[in-house]
Amino acid sequence: MKKLLLLTLLILGIGLSSNLVAQKYSSAIGLRFGYPNSVSYKMFLSEKAAVEAYGSFVFSSSFTTIGVNAAYLLHNDFANAEGLSWYYGGGASVYLNSYKTGFAGDGGNIGFGVSGYLGLDYMFGNLPLNITVDFVPTFVIGGGFIGRQGALGIRYILGE
């Protein structure tokens, strides 16, 4: 946890001292591999601001969770790293949960979450691909804090 906090502070420190440059794509669609796995769509509203929506899924032998998440993200470029930016933001989610208890039978519920976002976004120069890695700590209302959420995303750029 200390290493993650140090990495976060380092990214923020470098990013705050960098110059802002226009983002080089307007929208992208792809997959996020992590917790949870998801299908993602990202669209820039301006040079710096973007919205991202993704549908997530977690399947196991004892429970299933399907979620819909939306976030507002602010991007900042690194001064000397072409195509690389860091971002932060916030979002909300809705989860549909079903579970098998083994004692009292099956059940389910609907959960709502509030998330923070901190990540890196890289666009390859000549390829219409974008990769991201992010940390998404989430507070599920009535369910507690989930600090292990985040993913490696790979997206196809739809528009520049």
Q: Are 86 and 76 in contact (CB under 8 A)?
A: yes
pLDDT of residue 38: 93
Helices (H), the chain: 2-16
- Is the pLDDT score of 6 beyond 70? no
pLDDT tens digits for range 72-124: 999 998 888 888 999 999 999 998 888 776 666 677 788 899 999 999 999 98
Q: What band does 60 get if pLDDT is binned at 50, 70 and 90?
A: confident
pLDDT of residue 132: 94
Least confident window among 7-21, 33-47, 58-72, 83-97: 7-21
**Segments making up each domain of the chain, as ranges:** 2-159
pLDDT of residue 104: 63
Report how far residue 15's alpha carbon sits from residue 75's, in angstroms, rounded to the nearest whole number. 9
Report how far residue 52's alpha carbon sits from residue 41's, in angstroms, rounded to the nearest whole number. 6
Backbone angles phi, psi at 12, to 5 degrees: -65, -40
Average pLDDT (145-157) is 88
pLDDT of residue 18: 38
Q: What band does 45 get if pLDDT is binned at 50, 70 and 90?
A: very high
- What pTM was computed for the model? 0.77
CATH architecture of 2-159: Beta Barrel (2.40)
